[in-house]
Amino acid sequence: MPAPAIPAVWSAVVSLLLDAIEERRRSTALVGLFGSAKGLVLSALAGRLADRKTSVLVVTPTDEAAERLHADVAFFHRLQGFAPDDVLLFPDWGMLPYASGPGACSPRRVSR
């Protein structure tokens, strides 16, 4: 199913990010995004990279920030016609193996 178009301004941001990634620059940073704008850009970036079988890994400073970003990316992924199940939330390294982690993360990690 083709994804609906995202607003032109965000499409331009994603295109710039893809150019930087393709040029294999040493590091690529996108700063100044607030709220759910991060989720929108990351979802659009992941959607554009899906044809290339490439993944996107995002590291956040806290579990709470990770959970918020995960919810935003999954929302925009669904809005663009992609499977929200493709967006995974991994628990931090301190997560004990017998403690409850986020939803279906562990079974999906094992299956990949």
> Residues near 65 by Cβ (< 8 Å), separated by ≥ 6?
none
Output the pTM of the full model: 0.68
Tell me the pLDDT tens digit for each residue of 68-89.
Answer: 999 999 998 888 888 878 888 9
Q: Is the dihedral of CA 5, 6, 9, 13 positive or negative?
A: negative
pLDDT at residue 57 is higher than 70: yes
**104 or 16: which leads in pLDDT:** 16
Q: Give SS3 for 101.
A: coil
CA–CA separation, 82 and 84 (whole Å): 6
- The encoded tokens of residue 95 equal 């997560």
Tell me the pLDDT tens digit for each residue of 40-51.
Answer: 888 888 887 777
